Chains A and B, each alone.
Chain A
Amino acid sequence: QKEVEQDPGPLSVPEGAIVSLNCTYSNSAFQYFMWYRQYSRKGPELLMYTYSSGNKEDGRFTAQVDKSSKYISLFIRDSQPSDSATYLCAMKGDSGGSNYKLTFGKGTLLTVNP
């Protein structure tokens, strides 16, 4: 079992839909949770960054972390064709420990159709 599991999709939605992307993880030492967006043939760019449990909102994007369930989510409201990309979850533990390396999920390929 990989430390971080993410459904690779693909996920196809109509413009304006609410998108839900999820990851599960097994390492309880993970404290920092991130979502990266990667357009085709480009490097990942950071979208959201959350520490421990809770919610964080930034415009149309909301990140949720439930450490008790080892489950993180990214919600995209009013999805746009420009949101079409691969979304990667990533997580790490505190620096200085053995879990300090950023561990990525496989990524979910999202297509938003006009």
Chain B
Amino acid sequence: EAEVAQSPRYKITEKSQAVAFWCDPISGHATLYWYRQILGQGPELLVQFQDESVVDDSQLPKDRFSAERLKGVDSTLKIQPAELGDSAMYLCASSLGTGGWETQYFGPGTRLLVL
């Protein structure tokens, strides 16, 4: 069964350092999402791509976060510089499209701890 792949699974960094997360969606899925899940909360959308284009990045803190999906397949989310409040699970999801019935499939996530 096809799955969304993410790496690394865990990342510990010091504040002010740069970190990057990678996501490989299910093959053929045009839509890719990055979510942040703080402990005890539901996931919140950071950025959504349709192929290589950003559809929604309204909740992405653009002063420190950036995301790209250059060839419309895999994607990278970067934080620079990391802050203590960035400690969270970063989840990648993908779907075939954006229609109402489209199911989002989530990866295992990257757990980030900023010290």
Contacts and interface: CB of A to CB of B under 8 A. Distances in A.
Given A43-B107, A44-B106, A90-B42, A31 B100 contact: yes
B29 to A, nearest CB: 14
A95 B102 CA distance: 10
A102 B100 CA distance: 10
Given A43-B108, A49-B103, A95-B100, A107 B91 contact: no
A42 interface: yes
Interface in B60-115: 91, 93, 98-109, 111
Contacts of A6: 42
B98 to A, nearest CB: 5
Contacts of A95: 98-100, 102
B100 A44 contact: no
24 contacts: A6-B42, A31-B100, A42-B108, A42-B109, A43-B4, A43-B93, A44-B43, A44-B106, A46-B105, A49-B101, A49-B103, A51-B100, A90-B42, A94-B100, A95-B98, A95-B99, A101-B56, A102-B104, A104-B44, A105-B42, A106-B42, A107-B40, A107-B41, A107-B42
